[in-house]
Each structure stands twice: as structure tokens, then as C-alpha cells.
Chains A and B, each alone.
Chain A
């Protein structure tokens, strides 16, 4: 018996279909509950956790906030973020270099938070400028962080992650002069890979630049509520 001739059949299947379906379901749930979800991506050491701690502390008097934080190992970041008094849940990814939607779904279930009781949920991704770019987590806003100590050309080296993000935050601005950070070049590079991208320049240490950023978040929450409420 001869084996049949191979034939080419067309199939159109998104490879990350499962992740995208989970992310879509999460987004629907988050929006239904009126919670604005922000994810943070950056390289390791760019100040994500400090920036997030400051964000949680600043928002907490007026808003109900919570955070999920992803890391390969240790609960150190969750412990640091818990100082803000906000509910925090660590996601330990083991060897995985990024978060996936299913991990967010599981963490939200385990944390037993009532999403209706939240205004903002922050998701801190694993420190990595490559892998997180492919995975939708169901967030409304993706922020990419770039610290002044990393150099102005980071956006050109990692255009994919900058392109997948909605907003850029330049962190550790209190160190800008010391490391001779060329702010104009950084802004130019961000615009080159993501024209029209909104950029905030902040220092979590001195608080500089945080007001604009916090107002922006508040505005986005108002917009979300006005589009989801009947």
C-alpha cells in the first residue's frame, strides 16, 4: 500500500489563541467590575517595584487598589509592596520568563479579591524586555518603564516591547544629571519606535512628575467607568 500524497490545507489559527481567549475573558470581567488594570514591563532593576509601591501608596487614600507581582523566585517584591497597605499577591513563575493570562486568572482567583471592590489592579510583570511582549494579560494599559541609568537607546534595542506598550515611564529621574542622561534623545527614540506614545518622566524617590501620571490614571479610570456603565 502506498501512502497518500501529502496535501496542503489552509488553517488560520492564532498560536497564542488560548492565551488570547483567557486574556479576553479577563478583560471582560475586569471591565464588568469597573476595575482599571495596568501592567508594568521593564528590564530587571529599572525600578518597577519602587515605582509601583509609590503608585499604590499615592492612590490608596482615594482609590481601592491591589497588585499582582510576577517574579521567577522569592516573595521579596510582594513583601515590599505590602508596605503600601494595599492587598498584594505574588506570582512565582519558576523558570518562566514572563506572565501569561492564565497565571493572572489563577492569581486573581487565589487572592479571593472581589473585583467589584477595586478601582485599580496593577500587574508587575517579570523583569524582561523581550518575552512579555507576546502575551496579552487582559490589561487596559501596558506601561513600559525605562530608568535613566539604562541609557537613552533602550527603545531602539527593544522596539517590540515599546511597540506593545501604551505608555512609557522614564524612572529614576533624580539620577539623570549624575549619569548624564540625554532626555531629548530618549524621547526621540521612544517616538521613533512608537509614534505618539505618551511618556511620563518621574522620580519615585523625590515624587517629581508623579502628579501628572496619577492624574492620567484617574482620568483613564473615569473613562473606563463612563464607557462600561449603562
Chain B
């Protein structure tokens, strides 16, 4: 469980941005890759807890999960994987470790006023 550390990092990043914009934050939109090592539910829970007594208290976390996308050298195309247990092109079966998406852990937007 390192989601609390992650939640605190989100608060740091967002607070900095909110102060810069002199805005109040209603919601924080995140992209969380399947391979980021972060569990969305645990992050929601930790975020709520970590926000208490901060200017972000009451703000929502909107998490978009990003699937694993690899580049298949045989198809010469990016392919989305169904499973994190099998890094093979779903179309032709060629193994690929050429990761293009799935490790994201970023704030992408803020709902502010």
C-alpha cells in the first residue's frame, strides 16, 4: 500500500497549480496506467483521507485507467493488450516488450473555480 504516498504527491502537485492559478479545485483528473503500480480504489480512499484539513478537502478524484499498449514490430502497429500477464500482440501473437502506454501516473486536468 503506497497509495497514501501517491495521494500526498497528488496534493503537492495540485496545490502548487491551484496556488499559481489562485483557484479552488473541485476535481482532479488523473491518468493511471495499468502498469503504474497504483490501485485506483485504494488511491480514491487514500486521497480523501489525505485531503482532510487541506484546501483540497472535498475535491473529487476522477481516474481514467490507461490500458497497456505495446508496439508490435511484425504488424508495425500499436496494440492494446487484454492481459498484463501476456505481452504478446493480440493480432499476430508476436511477443513485444516495447511499451507505449500503461505506466502513466499523471494529473491531466483540474476542475477549478
Are B97 and A16 in contact, CB atoms less than 8 angstroms apart? no
| Main SS class of interface, A | mixed
Are B111 and A7 in contact, CB atoms less than 8 angstroms apart? yes
Would you call B69 an interface residue if the criterion is a C-beta within 8 Å of the partner chain's C-beta atoms? no
Would you call A163 an interface residue if the criterion is a C-beta within 8 Å of the partner chain's C-beta atoms? yes
Q: Given the complex of chains A and B, what is the CA–CA distance between A159 and B12 in angstroms? A: 29
Q: Given the complex of chains A and B, what is the CA–CA distance between A18 and B6 in angstroms? A: 11
Partner among B27, B30, B95, B105 whose Cβ is within 8 Å of the Cβ of A16 = B105
Are B5 and A96 in contact, CB atoms less than 8 angstroms apart? yes
Q: Which of A49-57, A108-116, A128-136 has 4 or more CB atoms under 8 Å from chain B?
A: A128-136
| Main SS class of interface, B | mixed
Most buried by B among A6, A8, A11, A133: A11
A11 CB, min distance to chain B CBs, angstroms: 6
B94 CB, min distance to chain A CBs, angstroms: 9
Would you call A3 an interface residue if the criterion is a C-beta within 8 Å of the partner chain's C-beta atoms? yes
Would you call A62 an interface residue if the criterion is a C-beta within 8 Å of the partner chain's C-beta atoms? no
Are B13 and A15 in contact, CB atoms less than 8 angstroms apart? yes
Given contacts A134-B2, A134-B105, A193-B84, contact A160 B111 (CB under 8 A): no
Partner among B2, B21, B95 whose Cβ is within 8 Å of the Cβ of A195 = B95
Q: Given the complex of chains A and B, what is the CA–CA distance between A18 and B2 in angstroms? A: 16
Are B85 and A156 in contact, CB atoms less than 8 angstroms apart? yes
Given contacts A17-B13, A134-B2, A195-B96, contact A8 B110 (CB under 8 A): yes
Task: Bin chain B's interface residue count.
Answer: 35 or more
Q: Scoring B residues 21 to 41 as 1 if CB is less than 8 Å from chain A, else 0, what string do you get? A: 100001101100001111000
Tell me the chain B residues, 31-54 only, with Cβ under 8 Å from chain A: 35-38
Would you call A9 an interface residue if the criterion is a C-beta within 8 Å of the partner chain's C-beta atoms? yes
Q: Given the complex of chains A and B, what is the CA–CA distance between A18 and B36 in angstroms? A: 16
Are B2 and A97 in contact, CB atoms less than 8 angstroms apart? yes
Are B111 and A192 in contact, CB atoms less than 8 angstroms apart? no
Q: Given the complex of chains A and B, what is the CA–CA distance between A6 and B106 in angstroms? A: 21
Q: Given the complex of chains A and B, what is the CA–CA distance between A161 and B38 in angstroms? A: 12
Are B12 and A18 in contact, CB atoms less than 8 angstroms apart? yes
Are A134 and B107 in contact, CB atoms less than 8 angstroms apart? no
Are A164 and B111 in contact, CB atoms less than 8 angstroms apart? no
Are B113 and A4 in contact, CB atoms less than 8 angstroms apart? yes
Name which residue of chain B comes closest to A157, CB basis: B85
Q: Given the complex of chains A and B, what is the CA–CA distance between A80 and B41 in angstroms? A: 39
Are B1 and A6 in contact, CB atoms less than 8 angstroms apart? no
Extra A-B contacts (17), CB below 8 Å, given A5-B113, A10-B108, A131-B2: A6-B27, A9-B110, A9-B112, A12-B106, A12-B107, A15-B106, A15-B107, A16-B105, A18-B12, A134-B38, A160-B37, A160-B84, A163-B84, A163-B99, A192-B85, A195-B87, A196-B97
Interface residues of B (CB under 8 A from A): 1-2, 5-6, 9-10, 12-13, 17, 21, 26-27, 29-30, 35-38, 84-88, 95-97, 99, 105-113
